[in-house]
Amino acid sequence: MQTLADKRILLGISGGIAAYKSADLVRRLTERGADVRVILTSAAQEFITPLTLQAVSGNPVSHSLLDPAAEAAMGHIELAKWADLILIAPASADVIARLAHGLANDLLTTCVLASSAPVAVAPAMNQQMYKNIATQKNLATLKEHNFHIFGPGVGAQACGDTGAGRMLEPLELVALTEQLFSPVKNLQGLRITITAGPTREAIDPVRYISNHSSGKMGFALAQAAAAMGAEVTLISGPVQLATPAGVTRIDVQSAEQMHQAALSAAVQSDIFIGCAAVADYRVAEIAADKLKKGAEAEMQLTLVKNPDIIAAVAALPQQRPFTVGFAAETRNVLEYARQKLLNKRLDMICANDVSASDRGFNSDDNALSVIWRGGELDLPKAPKQQLATQLITLISEHYKN
């Protein structure tokens, strides 16, 4: 679909290994109708060539502020005025620092200063560089200056580290760009509470029981709902994700803590979405000291059932929100989901198959079957951000009806 028809996007590419994905990003943007012009910083040219980007964008690529021929064709001020959006992907720690300080020491930073268009940056760097207080302060400055920050993603990095700092995938960047151009603010006034991530059930001071949930789906839902104007409370178990803009976040560890936080938020919400992978059981008695290994070949832990958070929300006698659950299954996906819809008295349930490694838990993509009393809809495999927007739209339509 031509979701970006006639949108003029100035794509700034700075130096980082993620620059190899920029050619794909240009393709995805142009496929959706955008007119893309590319500026490369000098470091970016070490990772990707102007020729590649010229071929995929169909436009000449700019890289020098002081190139008389380029200035005669489309000068930096013209480029800055031409853009409906400046998207910088990947945005290195260096370019983020220069933008935060208003430097204009190359073509890209000069264009940003000279443009009144919105600017979005997709950070891409080593996890330690991302965590560094200097980078965090620079990003906070950019947010204050109304820059949009896309990502970063979390996961394995080219340098061998793992953590936050990966550039979002091209399709995720496209979804965020689409949202930016058509912010459907039709959820204004709606209060939505979302639970996300795993819970952690302590065994002793150093050990716990948990699961592989990354929290990405819940965070994507929170971001989509906030972008559509809703007032969002995100109750999150331990995850490595940045809080989406405009979202109120409550961090919890255990299912009992999540239960408490969820019930007090739910009675003040119009919609409650239980996306968290809540541990069904906790250890009956948490040991005060680290458990020591005994001589026996086996050890036994006594587990007791945790409260079912979403069932408790759906059973609220008053101020019950429209309640949406998730069902992560490895087999009989639809059947189990339908049972959960009924047993937990939910209004809607989103079933996903977590047996496939290319979607669901810990993946950037997901596919969902959404079931409610009287209907079903399949949302095919897509980046979680894109799926989140579709799902929030569907939920809000059902809430309103």
Binding site, annotated residues for CTP: 274-276, 280, 290, 307-310, 326, 340, 344
Among 273, 260, 173, 199, smallest CA distance to 232 is for: 273
Q: Pick one of 13, 327, 341, 354: the residue that binds ligand CTP (CB under 6 A).
A: 327
Q: Please report, for residues 30, 162, 334, 398, the alpha-carbon distance to residue 384 in angstroms, rounded to integers and kept in the order given.
A: 21, 20, 20, 21
Residue 325 interacts with ligand CTP (CB under 6 A): yes or no: yes
Helices (H), 308-370: 309-314, 333-343
Residue 340 interacts with ligand CTP (CB under 6 A): yes or no: yes
Stretch of residues binding ligand CTP (CB under 6 A), selected from 78-86, 97-105, 155-163, 304-312: 304-312
Residue 306 interacts with ligand CTP (CB under 6 A): yes or no: yes
Residue ranges for the binding site? 274-276, 280, 290, 307-310, 326, 340, 344
Side chain identity, residue 79: L
Residue 209 interacts with ligand CTP (CB under 6 A): yes or no: no
Residue 369 interacts with ligand CTP (CB under 6 A): yes or no: no
The nearer residue to ligand CTP, 150 or 361, going by C-beta atoms, is 361
The nearer residue to ligand CTP, 119 or 278, going by C-beta atoms, is 278
Helices (H), 101-215: 107-114, 127-131, 133-144, 170-181
Q: Token match 């436009």: residue?
A: 59
> Strands 162-166, 153-156: parallel, antiparallel or unpaired by DSSP?
antiparallel
Q: What is the DSSP string of 126-154?
A: -HHHHHSHHHHHHHHHHHHTT-EE---EE
Helix (H, G, I), strand (E, B) or coil at 280: coil
Residue numbers 250-289 binding ligand CTP by CB under 6 A:
255, 274, 276, 278, 280
Q: Pick one of 65, 328, 379, 391: the residue that binds ligand CTP (CB under 6 A).
A: 328
Least distance from C-beta 366 to ligand CTP, angstroms?
Answer: 14
- Under DSSP, the state recorded for 320 is P
Q: Pick one of 310, 379, 387, 394: the residue that binds ligand CTP (CB under 6 A).
A: 310
Helices (H), 231-360: 255-266, 309-314, 333-343
Residue 330 structure tokens: 């490895």
Chain-centre distance of CA 199, in angstroms?
19
Residue numbers 31-90 binding ligand CTP by CB under 6 A:
none
Residue 391 interacts with ligand CTP (CB under 6 A): yes or no: no
Q: Token match 């240009």: residue?
A: 26
The nearer residue to ligand CTP, 125 or 224, going by C-beta atoms, is 224
159 is annotated as an active-site residue: yes
Stretch of residues binding ligand CTP (CB under 6 A), selected from 142-150, 244-252, 322-330, 362-370: 322-330
Residue 215 interacts with ligand CTP (CB under 6 A): yes or no: no
Burial 104-129 (b: 16+ CB within 10 A, else e): bebbbbbbbeebebebbbbbbbbbeb
E-strand stretches of 27-161: 35-40, 85-91, 119-123, 148-149, 153-156
Stretch of residues binding ligand CTP (CB under 6 A), selected from 61-69, 111-119, 320-328, 380-388: 320-328
Stretch of residues binding ligand CTP (CB under 6 A), selected from 114-122, 282-290, 326-334, 359-367: 326-334
Contact map string, positions 176 to 205, toward ligand CTP, x by CB under 6 A: -------------------x----------
Catalytically active residues, by annotation: 159
Contact residues toward ligand CTP (CB under 6 A) are: 195, 255, 274, 276, 278, 280, 306, 308-310, 325-328, 340
